[in-house]
Amino acid sequence: MAKSDGDLDYSKDPPEIELPNIYPVEWTVDNPKLYELFERAKREAWNPSVINWDSLDPKDYDDDQKTAMAYWWALLSNFENSGPPVFAKAMIHTFEIHEQDPVKKMFASIVMDECRHDECCMRACNKMCPYFLQGWKPKTSFDEAALRNIRWVYYNGARYWRGYNTAYIRHSWPIIFSSFMLGERCAATLFSEMSKHSKHPTFTEALKNIARDESRHLAFTWLGLEGIASKLTEEDKKTVTKQLRAGFTFLSMILYEPPKEFWKLPPDFIDVQRKMEGIARDAGLGVLSLEEKTECWKNAILEVKRRMDDFGIDFPALPEIGISGKETEFDEDSMMPTF
């Protein structure tokens, strides 16, 4: 056997692997609490197909109610369907930069959680309006408006993805990590509130399960923040403030109402959305009113703000819901929040 091959000397250890690379294999654990969270993720795993979707009988609802409920789930899927690729990218990135093992494994578990959430969106839509996004034929102008709105949301989702997709070149890991926080916090409350308001056990169960996952994701972001807070530079902190505002901007499409910045939407978009949400709420889906959503955001914000204060990070101004704070400049390339 050759003793050497070009620069390789087989009598010695192999050369250092140039990073970023997923190799060498590493199982470092800096924070055992992260492993406890991964254990929780495995324990709390659930299967959307065992939820009793058949008990959702389309005959119990009129056509507008079915369209409006499919609308809400399709709107939610703008976020849930992006979850698997968004977190898969985070997972690959953390492998490449050799984050501690439970961080990598937590991201892997979140990819699967998001698949489950998206599956619920798909199953609910298919029950109400089979093949809602592909092949369902609108019968009325109400139906057409619903589909048109959803297509505009996805158009904007594609713009978000372009920003997120390149975020890993432009930002360090802690910054990207911080952008998940606000959304996870608000989503955890929103879904848990919706599960209480919902009038159908199938929706209640799906929403309760999603809420449990979101609260675990939230716990993950807290531990992540604790791990990175001392390493943040002043410049990083400014970007985190911007990211918190971006989180509000992007996720408000489902968690509140879309703010002016970022979203490119037809002028009657919000009227159509309010109508859809109102009808879906009356049909028993558990969609929160604007006042209840504002309350949800405010509670989420107070909690996140308290933690930001501890780390000397400014909270952004969110005038839409009456929160004063630091003015931030909008930058479309930095859209990378999710839940």
Residues ≥6 apart with Cβ < 8 Å to 198:
204, 207, 284, 285, 286
**117 near Fe ion, judged by CB under 5 A:** yes
State how far Cα 226 lies from the chain centre. 20
In this structure, are residues 191 and 211 in contact, taking their beta carbons and an 8 Å threshold? yes
Least distance (Å) between residue 299 CB and Fe ion: 17
Closest contact distance (angstroms) between CB of 154 and Fe ion is: 17
Under rule CB under 5 A, residue 116 binds Fe ion: no
The smaller minimum CB distance to Fe ion, of residues 209 and 249, is found at 209
Q: How far is the CB of 42 from Fe ion (least distance, A)?
A: 17
Nearer to Fe ion, 117 or 127 (CB): 117
Q: Is 107 in the site for Fe ion (CB under 5 A)?
A: no
* Identity of the residue, 272 or 335, whose beta carbon is nearer to Fe ion in the bound complex: 335
Outline where the chain has alpha helix (H). 32-43, 63-80, 83-96, 101-128, 141-170, 173-178, 181-197, 201-228, 234-255, 269-282, 290-310
Rounded least distance, CB 183 to Fe ion, Å = 7
When the beta carbons of 67 and 102 are compared against Fe ion, the nearer one is 102
Inter-residue contact 174 to 231 (CB < 8 Å): yes
Both tokens of residue 262? 């970022």
* Smaller CB separation from Fe ion, 208 or 238: 208
- Segment near Fe ion (CB under 5 A), from 87-95, 122-130, 207-215, 259-267? 207-215
Closest CB to Fe ion among residues 255, 272: 255
Tell me which stretch binds Fe ion (CB under 5 A): 50-58, 69-77, 208-216, 317-325.
Answer: 208-216
Identify residue 232 by its one-letter amino acid code. Answer: L
- Mapped onto helix, strand or coil, the DSSP state of residue 8 is strand
Closest distance of CB 190 from Fe ion, Å: 11
CB of 275 to Fe ion, least distance (A): 25
CB of 217 to Fe ion, least distance (A): 4
Shorter beta-carbon distance to Fe ion: residue 22 or 115: 115
Considering only 38, 250, 297, 339, the residue that binds Fe ion (CB under 5 A) is 339
The DSSP secondary structure of 135-164, one letter per residue, reads TPPP-SHHHHHHHHHHHHHHHHHHHHHHHH
**Which tokens go with 303?**
């909690």
Tell me the backbone φ, ψ of residue 4, rounded to 5 degrees: -150, 160
* Among the residue ranges 2-10, 84-92, 206-214, 325-333, the one whose residues contact Fe ion (CB under 5 A): 206-214
What's the CA gap between 114 and 77, in Å, rounded? 10
Question: What's the number of CA atoms in the CB half-sphere (13 Å) around residue 134?
Answer: 1
Give the residue with the Cβ less far from Fe ion, 129 or 186.
186
Residue nearest to Fe ion (CB): 217
Contact status: 73 vs Fe ion (CB under 5 A):
no
- 217 lies in the site for Fe ion, by CB under 5 A: yes
User: Cα(213)–Cα(145) distance, rounded to whole angstroms?
Assistant: 32
Q: How far is the CB of 204 from Fe ion (least distance, A)?
A: 17
Binding-site size, Fe ion (CB under 5 A) = 7
Whether the CA torsion 38, 42, 43, 47 is positive or negative: it is: positive
For residue 131, the 8-state DSSP code is: T
Angle between helices 63-80 and 234-255 (to 10 degrees): 160
Which residues in this chain contact Fe ion in the complex, by CB under 5 A?
A: 80, 83, 114, 117, 214, 217, 339
